[in-house]
Structure 1
Amino acid sequence: MIWQAPHMFWLLLALPALVLIWRRAGRRLPWRVVGLRLMILTLLIGALANPVRQQADTPVTGPLLVIYDQSDSLTPAGQAAIRAEAEAIATAAGPQTRLLAFGANVVAGNERMPDGAGSDLAHALRTARQLLPSGGRVILIGDGHNTGGDVLAEAQRAAAAGIRVDVRFIAPPATPEITVTRLDVPALVRSGEPFDITVTTTYQPIDDPTPIAADLRIWVDEQLLGEESVVIPPGQYQFTITHTAEQPGLLSLRTEIIPTGNDTFAANNVAAATALVMPPPRLLLVEGSRENGAVLGAALTQAGMEVERVSVSAVPVALNRLAMYDGIVLVDVSANQLSFEQMMSLREVVRSEGKGLTVIGG
């Protein structure tokens, strides 16, 4: 019997205090009642400690499968160590033992290598369960990292199928590693509007905490935007570059870190992101008197907006026409200059379509 929450037994120290409280409260309870209450509280505390009964290992009969990790995250030295461990177990167990190597997929024997781009433990256990329809034993050897499905669910299915799963953990050797963890850009930007491109890196040295030099490259739509020599300190660090999108559409961005020092995996030095570039804001500038909005219109145009100047009589009544604009600006427009239909359309396009409305003068 083991207790998964033994700290709960500290609550037993409160039982004598409860007895004193009952006696000082003037309630002279029979000792038999007090003892019964204390026993109930003790059992409740024992239940909170979460007891688990250990079962003795029973010998498993049937075939033996040894499945071992050969993903790229282990490095060649780690792969060789796990492969040697698996072969030693198979040799000791006898000629009927089968070997399965796994990464992103599963391959049989030790002559082929799996796809090292991932470490799908769930897929490996599922394959082992399919190869042992009548039960048996599986020995899983790896570093514990999983990039696939639900490992616990697959292990439970294997146990239900009469398959015992034993795990041997082998820690991979420590290696220096630089990773581009994120490439962040705004999801939506305006054409002609500058925005930030943020590159997040993580550097894990072995012993020497000295920053490492690297080249940072950024591509926009597969064209090199720029290259910069940077210094990456240990831990997480961010680099920010400002860019201006010119053409509306989908913008594809990619970044790469090329370290000048030691790095184990080059595949995780790349990250990508996309941003939707919208055309410049389109404004409808309504003039109450001719040329009243000339100065404001010129200023808005210089700020990168598309401005259409019209008289009050040209204000559309149809909502679909007003919805073509991102905002409406009324310059020196009085209420009696607008028709009732125009007022209702302006109110509705703001309330229902979320368009902007600015009134100047009037």
Structure 2
Amino acid sequence: MWRGRPVVAATRLLLGLLLVAAHADPSWTREQETDRVVYLVDTSSSIPKSSQAQVWSAVEKHRATLPPTARWAAVQVDGTARLLAPFTDGTGTLPAPLAASARASTAMLDGLRRAGSLLPTGTPGRIVLYTDGQFDASPMTAELNALAARGVAIEVAVPTLPMAPADIRALTLPPAADVGSTIEGTLTLWSGPGGLSTDVQFELMAPDGTIHPLDPVELSVPAGRQADVALAFPLDTELPSGLYKLRCTLLDTPQPPFVTGLRVDRPPRVLLVRGERRDGAVIQGVLEAEGMDVQVARASAPPALSSDFDLVILAGTPTGNGGLPAKWIQTLSSFVDEGGGLLTISGPGGYASGGWQDSGLAPLLPVRIDPDGAEKDDSASLLVVLDKSGSMARPAADARSAKGMVSGVADLMLGGRGQGSKIQVAAEAAAATMDRLRDHDRVGVLAVDTLPYWPVPMVDATARKEAQKKVRRIAAGGGGMYVLTALDAAAEAMQKEDAPLRHILLLVDASDAGEQTQDTYGSVRGALERAGELRREGITLSVVGLGGETSRDSDFLEQLTQNGGGRLKLTPDIRTVSALFTQEVERLVGSAVHEQAPIHITVTGWHAALQGLDVRNAPQIWGWSDVLPRTRARTVLSTPEGTPIFAVWRRGMGQVAAWTSDDGARWARRWPAWSQSATFWTQAARTLARDKGSDDAPLRLEPVGDQMRITLEATDDLGRPEPIGTPDLVIMLDGTPIATPTMQLAAPGRLEGTWAPPAGARLVATATTSPSTEAAIKTTAEAIVTTSSERAGFGLRPDVLDELSRTAATITQRDRSRAALWPWLAFTALLLLPLDAYARRFYSSTPPKSRAGLR
């Protein structure tokens, strides 16, 4: 019976409470019955055999607690994940564990995927994981999330493990070191239950089996401790280069040695072949400062090439007469094909100026030489100054016999026009020079001993035929050659010329350059100062000296050309003068080189030589050899117009790079002062030098976990994949051939294969492709199989186990069924609404007597 206003108030209070409770979204949960359980059991080598038996016993006990209606399965995981038992009912028995796999790592991610695949989607399930946590858990996050989304619960069971015995857990060292350097690294040890008080023995085993002992390390570590010991081993300077096995043995323990690989290299051995003394001087100093062995040679007498050299540098080196011999260039081609490196640097004798386009160098280069490109528009005035002193009457050939001596005396008595005399060869060289000039150029020939003589005053090049006849009639005189007299006479003539390009080419005996200074009534004048004056007037001077670097006046001539803004060429053989004169004329009027206002180079590609460099702030250059890019080569640096400055490509097993400016003697004269210049040359040299197993080698052996991956890749010099064909692959394990892994196409132009070789083994792989394929490859790779990381994993990994436990708790919460209560609360509140309305209307509209009558 209703009793008035208290009834209305109670109804409204109840209604309000129901609405507030519904808004709080309460729920009711209950555990779902998981009738499917998968046991995922870790039996990797980081868990001792005795503990593995305890793990299996724990699995059996857990299985016995399952309800009769439950179904269970088991997956065993070590180096691989394998199904031990398919789903069976509670009456089934646990099979005997599978034999250990060849791999020593823990394939836990594969194990989770295998276990998850056994649980049907939409069916409640649970994975019970028995593990010590000795694996990388980071790749498992995505798989754990996928299992959580399916409602699969994870339960982590931690096995009871005894304290691991003393052992080496890890050895951290750089992969390579130079002879004579000091290896620095870290040795990680576990002292075991009894502690450690012993020595660690280190030894290097060479490829031929020779043992090179290193200094032992004394240890003292309390029981149950992990210790990191800093290592520092000096390597003998006489140690042969190669890939060594580094064996680390903990004495007085039964544990086998810990083995890893160490590549011992000597610094690259470099052969620098230069044209002039200034060519390559900068890079020589840089590489020697980096500890590289640099052997310097002249272009006319390069040493025999062998595999002892890792890199050849040609700096302004001409070919042909007085330059690189053709047979040596053929040897250089084979040197590169077999893995050697080649770096070419421009200079007065480089590229087209050195006749490279007509030699065997041309096909080696990653650029094309274009000596017939656009000529310089400016006209040129060239004055050839010949030494006609008495020494020029001698035979051009090296006549050491009595007959040769008599011939030389006769030449002097007959006025120096003997057949084959030096003056005759010089005159022919001057005459040939005129054929290289254009019709709008001008030319003159001045012959000097103690006085100047003008066989050909400055004339237009169109009169070259008559001028050549006059030049060929020049005869040797007497006395020495007066340099200052020659420059004064040349200056008087050249100052009258109005051509934009004015150049003096002086031929002089490098052992008999007289009148370097002149004293006139106490006023001393010098040839060096006169050359500087001419240069300031726009008249440049180059010198061809008959002799060598040890000739008496070679230093004076070097300074003379520096002051005159030209270049010096020294040659002991006058028969090479014609080629040197031709190079000089090509430089003056042709397109062999490009000289103009300084420009900044542009980065157009990538190469390891640029690693860490800010090339945008590199100094300007004033000149370069005009070349054209090759389509298959990579242009790394160029002029703003696109002319290659630094280009690279792979030739056979070696690499070739072309630097078309010089290294700082003339055109790139500000580069040596650039703070990153030395880094550029050093990185370029190390990258181009004979390959010692770099990361971008065509054939690579790389550890992946406890497996070894072999990769064979074919790309062009732009990094584009090429057809690779079917390789002929041979793998030697400690000197014995083994079955090769199956190679599969992993990407265009790349084959890969994996297998599990034994720890401590030496692997040498050689791959060749059929010559009929488009990208013929012949390359070798080697590696040492490092002791498995599982050896470093004795004991529990709390960090991994904690992370798995947190994830498992989250997933288990998701596995519970949840029933929301707010709909029921809201529905009850709705039912009370009409009751509340009725009560309010009844008590407000019915008189008390009526309500009493109702009672």
Confirm or deny a common fold (TM above 0.5): yes
Hey, what does 1:194 align to over in structure 2? 180
**Cα deviation 1:66-88 (Å, max 9, x = unaligned):** 11111111112222222221122
Q: Is this contact kept in 1: 2:75–2:114, CA < 8 A?
A: no
Hey, what does 2:73 align to over in structure 1? 98
Give the TM-score normalised by structure 2. Answer: 0.29
Q: Is this contact kept in 2: 1:123–1:149, CA < 8 A?
A: no
1:77 and 1:315 map into 2 onto residues whose CA distance is 69
- How far is 1:240 from its partner? 0.9
Q: Is this contact kept in 2: 1:90–1:98, CA < 8 A?
A: no
1:261 and 1:55 map into 2 onto residues whose CA distance is 63
Hey, what does 1:71 align to over in structure 2? 44
Hey, what does 1:256 align to over in structure 2? 247
2:297 and 2:31 map into 1 onto residues whose CA distance is 84
Hey, what does 1:273 align to over in structure 2? 262
1:55 and 1:142 map into 2 onto residues whose CA distance is 34
1:71 and 1:307 map into 2 onto residues whose CA distance is 58
Give the letter for the 1:87 counterpart.
E
Query: 1:116-135 alignment to 2 at 5 Å?
Result: 117-134=104-121, 135=123
Q: Helix, strand or coil: the match of 1:61?
A: coil
Query: 1:1-362 alignment to 2 at 5 Å?
Result: 58-93=31-66, 96-109=71-84, 110-115=96-101, 117-134=104-121, 135=123, 136-147=125-136, 150-175=139-164, 176-186=166-176, 189=178, 194-198=180-184, 200-221=186-207, 223-228=209-214, 229-234=216-221, 235-237=227-229, 238-244=231-237, 251-262=242-253, 266=256, 269-274=258-263, 279-283=268-272, 286-287=276-277, 304-309=293-298, 316=316, 321-322=344-345, 333-334=558-559, 335=562, 336=564, 338-339=566-567, 344=623, 345-346=661-662, 347=664, 351=671, 354-355=680-681
2:249 and 2:28 map into 1 onto residues whose CA distance is 53
Q: Is this contact kept in 2: 1:120–1:147, CA < 8 A?
A: no
Q: Is this contact kept in 2: 1:280–1:304, CA < 8 A?
A: yes
Q: Helix, strand or coil: the match of 1:73?
A: coil
2:77 and 2:108 map into 1 onto residues whose CA distance is 8
Number of aligned residue pairs: give it.
Answer: 279
**Cα deviation 1:225-268 (Å, max 9, x = unaligned):** 413554344412214140447777xx31221122233366x47x
1:179 and 1:58 map into 2 onto residues whose CA distance is 44
Seen in structure 2, the aligned counterparts of structure 1 residues 105 and 117 have a Cα distance that, compared at 3 Å, is: same
Seen in structure 2, the aligned counterparts of structure 1 residues 355 and 72 have a Cα distance that, compared at 3 Å, is: closer
Q: Helix, strand or coil: the match of 1:64?
A: strand
Structure 1, unmatched stretches of 5+, are: 1-52, 289-295, 325-329, 357-362
2:112 and 2:247 map into 1 onto residues whose CA distance is 35
Seen in structure 2, the aligned counterparts of structure 1 residues 225 and 199 have a Cα distance that, compared at 3 Å, is: farther
Identity %: 16
Larger-gyration structure (1/2): 2
1:161 and 1:99 map into 2 onto residues whose CA distance is 19
- How far is 1:97 from its partner? 2.0
Give the letter for the 1:125 counterpart.
L
Give the letter for the 1:170 counterpart.
P
1:355 and 1:205 map into 2 onto residues whose CA distance is 48
2:190 and 2:295 map into 1 onto residues whose CA distance is 49
- Greater RCO between the two (CA within 8 Å, min separation 6)? 2
Q: Is this contact kept in 2: 1:185–1:196, CA < 8 A?
A: no
Give the letter for the 1:177 counterpart.
D
Q: Is this contact kept in 1: 2:199–2:219, CA < 8 A?
A: yes
- How far is 1:120 from its partner? 2.3
Structure 2, unmatched stretches of 5+, are: 1-25, 85-95, 222-226, 279-284, 301-313, 319-341, 348-548, 568-586, 588-592, 596-621, 624-660, 672-676, 683-855
1:72 and 1:92 map into 2 onto residues whose CA distance is 29
- How far is 1:146 from its partner? 1.7
Q: Is this contact kept in 1: 2:81–2:108, CA < 8 A?
A: no
2:271 and 2:134 map into 1 onto residues whose CA distance is 51
Give the letter for the 2:35 counterpart.
G
Q: Is this contact kept in 2: 1:185–1:197, CA < 8 A?
A: no
**Cα deviation 1:195-220 (Å, max 9, x = unaligned):** 33445321211344443234322123
- How far is 1:89 from its partner? 1.2
Q: Is this contact kept in 1: 2:163–2:193, CA < 8 A?
A: no
2:39 and 2:259 map into 1 onto residues whose CA distance is 34
- How far is 1:309 from its partner? 4.8
**Cα deviation 1:37-59 (Å, max 9, x = unaligned):** xxxxxxxxxxxxxxxx9996723
1:261 and 1:216 map into 2 onto residues whose CA distance is 14
**Which moved further from structure 2: 161-170 or 238-247?**
238-247
Seen in structure 2, the aligned counterparts of structure 1 residues 213 and 195 have a Cα distance that, compared at 3 Å, is: same
RMSD: 4.3
Q: Is this contact kept in 2: 1:105–1:120, CA < 8 A?
A: yes
Q: Is this contact kept in 2: 1:121–1:149, CA < 8 A?
A: no
**Cα deviation 1:103-139 (Å, max 9, x = unaligned):** 1212233331343611222211110111112341110
1:98 and 1:261 map into 2 onto residues whose CA distance is 44
